[in-house]
């Protein structure tokens, strides 16, 4: 496989999901969800993509290029570096063996979009061609 485009819907929890009922003036607490749990959930969504049926994972064992566009329906501030780091970690073992294989990358964040989703383009990267 030379190139792959995945469109992954994000399951953004509503503001009040997982919050405890508290008295006035107390800050509501969200139920904690670990980083590993979020990665596993994301990996499950990637593996469910029809393009990956019948393909042994991880797909790439050599250098890869990576480009991600993250669409959010709200306008909350998010740190793009942290989001991309999460994607790198979550794709390890599924799309590539380890994130050190990423030789070229690009990211973009779009706020106020109609749908929460992540579009990922991955391709076999040739270090000699660039």
pLDDT digits (tens, 9 = 90+) for 99-126: 999 999 999 999 999 999 999 999 999 8
The secondary structure element, H or E, covering residue 5 is strand 3-9
Predicted confidence (pLDDT) per residue in 4-53, tens digit: 999 999 864 434 344 443 444 555 556 667 888 989 999 998 999 999 98
Over the stretch 58-74, which tens digit does the pLDDT of each residue have? 999 999 999 999 999 99
Q: Does residue 77 surpass a pLDDT of 80?
A: yes
Q: What's domain 1-12+33-47+62-130's architecture?
A: 2-Layer Sandwich (3.30)
Delimit the domains of the chain by residue range. 1-12+33-47+62-130
| pTM score, whole prediction | 0.79
């Amino acid at each position: 496989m030379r190139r792959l485009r995945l469109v992954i819907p994000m399951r953004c929890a509503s503001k009040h999901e997982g919050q405890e009922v508290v008295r006035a003036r107390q800050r509501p607490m969200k139920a904690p969800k670990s980083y590993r749990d979020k990665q596993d959930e994301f990996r499950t969504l990637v593996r469910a993509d029809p393009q990956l049926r019948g393909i042994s994972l991880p797909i790439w064992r050599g250098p890869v290029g990576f480009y991600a566009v993250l669409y959010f329906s709200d306008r909350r501030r998010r740190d793009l570096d942290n989001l991309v780091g999460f994607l790198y970690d979550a794709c390890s073992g599924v799309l590539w063996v380890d994130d050190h294989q990423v030789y070229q990358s690009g990211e973009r964040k779009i706020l106020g979009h109609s749908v929460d989703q992540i579009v990922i383009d991955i391709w076999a990267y040739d270090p000699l061609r660039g």
